[in-house]
Amino acid sequence: MAELDRRGFMRLLRRDKGEEPEKEAAETPTDPDIVQLMELTASLLADVESEGAEPIADAPVLTRPFDKAYMRVTTEHIVYSIITGFSVLMKTSDVTALDTEPPEELRGYGPMVAGTLRAHHPADPADVTRAYQFRFRADSPLLEAIRTACDLPEPEPEPAESEESAEVDQPGPGGASGGNSRG
């Protein structure tokens, strides 16, 4: 930050080491590729965002084949850029679903949630939906942000016991639960 002194000169203010919040330092990515992708997504959003759009979340992600990517979610748009040079900007109103799988421990990455973001592009026929696949950190704020911004329902928990397994465990007509009994 800077401040003008009484003579009109600009003086730079330096923070003490104790003043810098640790949270900001922990959240700032250090990988130069991620920093570049972060800047690219910000510039893409600057071109299309209206004054009413509020940022909800942004974080690094991986594509399904483990390419580095960065995603930003606002109330009106979702934008992501991949290290391979591919970027997508979509309206939250075009998103139709977010399918996720349970977290899985991946060596070198920690617990990751595989997710498929489905959206209808206005240039496509009405029955065509595009799918974008990512790997989110299990604690990523992006999953909840996408559901909130796109007004998508929470995923339903899987039933503990399916109907097929319940039928197998029921006793047969003789009262035994299977097999022959010799008496």
pLDDT in tens, 25-82: 445 678 899 999 999 999 888 878 766 788 999 999 999 999 999 999 999 999 999 9
Q: Where are the alpha helices (DSSP H) in the chain?
A: 22-27, 32-48, 142-150, 163-169
> Distance (Å, rounded) from C-alpha 131 to C-alpha 12?
48
Please state which CATH number belongs to domain 29-150. Answer: 2.30.29.30
> Which tops the pLDDT comparison, 21 or 30?
30
Q: Where are the domains of the chain?
A: 29-150
Radius of gyration of the chain (CA): 25
Whether 148 shows a pLDDT value over 70: the answer reads yes
What is the full DSSP assignment across 12-45? E----TTTS-HHHHHHS---HHHHHHHHHHHHHH
> Distance (Å, rounded) from C-alpha 152 to C-alpha 129?
16
Q: Is the whole model's pTM more than 0.85, yes or no?
A: no
Q: Across the chain, where does the E strand assignment appear?
A: 2-4, 10-12, 55-63, 68-74, 77-82, 87-91, 95-100, 104-106, 110-119, 130-137
**Structure tokens that stand for 88 in this block:** 């997508």
